[in-house]
């Protein structure tokens, strides 16, 4: 989800709902991007955390520009891949 998106979070994520509902055991990582654009943010980290909780998902906020939490996202994904291979 792009944090500078003007749409309310439920509307912005609506296209993902069929996938979430059909695969209840799937691991979901909800990533908020562009967190470095603080003056343009429309969605908060709290919005993402709330949605992630509803979906039983993990939520991270990142900035590719500054590198904020990119390592955390990759670490999470690698751990998840390792877990699913065992």
Kindly write down the DSSP assignment for every residue of 27-51, as one continuous string: --EEEEB-TT-GGG--S-HHHHHHH
Asked whether residue 79 is assigned to any structural domain, the reply reads yes
Cβ-Cβ contacts under 8 Å for 12 (sequence gap 6 or more): 1, 2, 5, 43
Asked whether residue 3 is assigned to any structural domain, the reply reads no
Q: In angstroms, rounded to a whole number, what is the distance separating the alpha carbons of residues 30 and 72?
A: 13
Domain of 38 in residue numbering reads as: 28-85
Mean pLDDT in the chain? Answer: 76
Asked if pLDDT for residue 3 goes beyond 50, the answer is no
In tens, the pLDDT along 12-40 reads: 667 777 776 777 677 778 877 786 667 77
Domain count, the chain: 1
Asked whether residue 8 is assigned to any structural domain, the reply reads no
């Amino acid at each position: 989800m792009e944090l500078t998106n003007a749409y309310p979070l439920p509307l912005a994520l609506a296209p993902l709902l069929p996938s979430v509902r059909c695969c209840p055991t799937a691991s979901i990582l909800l990533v908020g991007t562009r967190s470095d654009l603080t003056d343009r943010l429309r969605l908060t980290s709290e919005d993402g955390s709330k949605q992630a909780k509803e979906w039983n998902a993990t939520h991270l906020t990142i900035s590719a520009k500054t590198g904020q939490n990119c390592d955390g996202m990759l670490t999470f994904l690698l751990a998840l891949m390792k877990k699913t291979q065992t």
